Structure 1
Amino acid sequence: MGDYAGRVEIARPAAEVFAFLADIRNMPRYLPTVTRVDPQGRHGDHDDVAVEGRAEDHGYHDEGWLKAEPEARRMQWGSHGQHGYGGSLEVTAAEGGSVVALQLHLASKPGAAAHGPGDAEMQAALQRTLASIKACCEAPGGAAAQETGQGTDELPDSRPFGSSATMNPDL
């Protein structure tokens, strides 16, 4: 496994995009394998979360942490159960909207190289996740409506974009 990075331009203001992404209630909308995220309390500078989902035809449950830095429009996360899994994203202002830059770090489990996805598959899964973020934020009733509390039930579901590299339990 290793490190993976990607970015996507979104035709919405950076503050709106970050607010949408940092709200854990929205994570199942843009992370294709995630079906539920529950807060588990605040510890120091981060929030603990429990994540449930389905990847490669089986369910998973993981507990991890999420640190949001609204002033910098940056988030970092990791898993308590999957050693070597973590990531970050940053939303920056750009002409015509914003840019979301996503980074993942996935350390190999013993035996994972023989059974897990390769680098090209992981990069493709990361790109599908970025496409899902773009679709959710740019859809009518997307991130801007979420910011004002209107239209959040009308956001598209991300699962048509395929599985995500971000919470694959086989990595």
Structure 2
Amino acid sequence: MGDHERSTTVDAEPGVLFDYLSDVENLPHYFAAMRSAEPAGGDTVHTVADVEGRAVEGDAWFTAEPESRTIRWGAPGPHDYSGELAVVAAGAGSQVTVRLHTSHTDGPAVDGGLDETLATIKRNVEQGADPAAP
């Protein structure tokens, strides 16, 4: 079992950053392994992800709490997988923290993936890039 946490600052207002992160359809634009994500009713999201080189399709839960600017997600299955993104004000911008709980044992690879996710979030939001652009 592993609990992992990483943070970065983003030059954007907390509300703007939270709005970007909480839009389910943006998930593939900042989670590298995510190929697609679509709302499936209630808190359910239908996803396709690249897991160790193969496409894995399934349903996950995804909740966004605007009052606390917190997003939580998870997926049923043998890997006990869940996570959280939290956005707080930091000076003129924001700090985003990602926390991940997984039974995946390769800590350095998990931490590297979280760092990549945060770098992508920072780049997309600060550059105002169209998340749909390649």
Question: Normalized against structure 2, the TM-score is what?
Answer: 0.91
How far did residue 67 of structure 1 move?
1.1
- Name 1:94's counterpart in structure 2: 90
Whole-angstrom distance in 2 between the partners of 1:23 and 1:63: 16
Whole-angstrom distance in 2 between the partners of 1:139 and 1:17: 12
- Name 1:20's counterpart in structure 2: 20
Q: How many residues are aligned here?
A: 134
Identity of aligned residues (%): 31
- Name 2:113's counterpart in structure 1: 125
Decide whether the 8 Å contact of 2:29 with 2:132 is kept in 1: no
Greater Rg by CA: 1
Decide whether the 8 Å contact of 1:64 with 1:81 is kept in 2: no
Partner SS state of residue 41, structure 1: coil
Whole-angstrom distance in 2 between the partners of 1:53 and 1:121: 16
Decide whether the 8 Å contact of 2:2 with 2:101 is kept in 1: yes
Whole-angstrom distance in 1 between the partners of 2:113 and 2:132: 25
Say whether 1:2 aligns with 2:14.
Answer: no
Find 1:75's aligned residue among 61, 71, 80.
71
1:35 maps to a residue whose letter is R
How far did residue 68 of structure 1 move?
0.7
Say whether 1:62 aligns with 2:58.
Answer: yes
Whole-angstrom distance in 2 between the partners of 1:153 and 1:125: 21
Partner SS state of residue 119, structure 2: helix
- Name 2:30's counterpart in structure 1: 30
Q: Which runs of 5+ in 1 are unaligned?
A: 142-150, 158-171
Deviations 1:103-141 (A, max 9, x none): 000025xxxx5xxxx211211111111111111111134
RMSD of aligned residue pairs (Cα, Å): 1.6
Whole-angstrom distance in 2 between the partners of 1:135 and 1:24: 18
How far did residue 53 of structure 1 move?
2.2
Q: Which runs of 5+ in 2 are unaligned?
A: none
Structure with more strand by fraction: 2
Find 1:104's aligned residue among 100, 105, 109.
100
Partner SS state of residue 37, structure 1: strand
